[in-house]
Amino acid sequence: MILPILSYFRKTYVLLLLLLINVPGTIYGFVWYWNQLKATPWYFTPFVPDSPTASLFFVFVLIAFLLKTNWPLFEALAGVTLIKYGIWAVVMNSSSVMAGAPLTSDIIMLNLSHAGMAIQALIYAPYFRIKPWHLIVALIWTVHNDIIDYVFGMFPWLSSGLMPYLSQIGYFTFWLGLFSVGCIYWLCLRKDRLQLSL
């Protein structure tokens, strides 16, 4: 049952449609971070726009698929970060509403788009050709990013209602990163995994 459904996502027009969604979404994400990026020391800049960087990795994955090839390092980075920041943003946005922020159309849009990020990683993981060293690089990237965010204070700007819980958010983010690495390991590297070809 799952194979016919997954085969739909390898069609060229679906890949092109996802590219047309992810490229503007990535640009919008960097624009969203613009004010924070202007206030960020240049040497921390690559580690601030978490979600748009994740979707940028996936843009390269889609381009490779359209070229009938695989770029496994981008696949590992995209898979881990799409799951991590897709879930993270939904949890943080929902928590900010629970802490007293208004439920706006922006919050709803962000939750839907970030949930879509995580879903994309899960759908396309069977097409990835990741080796252990690719996943190790993605693990180092995500742990290093958390250190930059929560040790050096470069975390994404949060609503005021969440700031008292910054330590807990940092702890959650770290373990969410490891969970995301575990998901990609389970989907892409275990011996009995589902493996599909484009």
Task: Give the DSSP letter of residue 122.
Answer: H
Measure the CA–CA gap between 70 and 60, rounded to whole angstroms. 10
Task: Quick: pLDDT tens for 86-115.
Answer: 999 999 999 999 998 899 999 999 999 999
Q: How far, in Å, CA of 80 to CA of 78, rounded?
A: 6
Distance CA 68, CA 94 (A): 38
Q: How far apart are CA 114 and CA 55, in angstroms?
A: 10
pLDDT tens-place string over residues 121-176:
999 999 999 999 999 999 999 999 999 999 999 999 999 999 999 999 999 999 99
Quote the pTM value: 0.94
Query: In whole angstroms, what is the distance from residue 179 CA to residue 55 CA?
Result: 19
